[in-house]
Amino acid sequence: MSDGYKEGEFTLAEKVEIPSGLLNAIVAGYQIALSKTLGAGAAAMTQLLIKHIGDFLEEMLEEIGFEVHNIEDLSKDLPEAFKMLGISDNVEVETPSNGTSTGDKYIIKINDSIFKPVARLLHKKGIPFTLSPESFIAAAIVRKAIRKKKPDAQVRVKVHPQKTPDEPLVIEVIVR
């Protein structure tokens, strides 16, 4: 193959489908391991991941064909991204009216997701679902869009814990 990969070697750009149940099992496994290893510190670890995975995740999204640098209007483009990626058809984004000023707050509500089954399973077992794949993806996309308009922006992402898995996942993004 001309792109440097050997036959039979997977790339991110390949369209390989795996059952969503298997994907949820993998995410649940990581969440359980994280919770058992770090206990209450699992939420802090998730915040570190959200903060540091953005650029890496952005590259991965672009490799699978989602052009993160084309994001213009978060209230329209973020829900479209989640739909295109097959994660959720029901995402709401509340954007501040004044652009990307210091202290601006974006609220993202993911009302349903392919990861909802893992949230339900973990809830039944009393394990907080802090390792939300939706939050990593939303954070990478929002950070890129904000920094496109304001390159020196400090972007803080907070995932609100769900009391029940039937609530929407709420992600708060604050620009500093």
Decide: helix, strand or coil at residue 54: helix
**Does the pTM of the predicted model rise above 0.85?**
no
Percent of the chain with pLDDT over 90: 29
Q: For residue 25, what are the CA distances in angstroms to 13, 22, 37, 114? A: 23, 5, 18, 12
Residue 9 has pLDDT above 80, yes or no: no
**pLDDT tens-digit readout, 104-120:** 888 999 999 999 999 99
Taking residues 52-79, what's their average pLDDT?
81
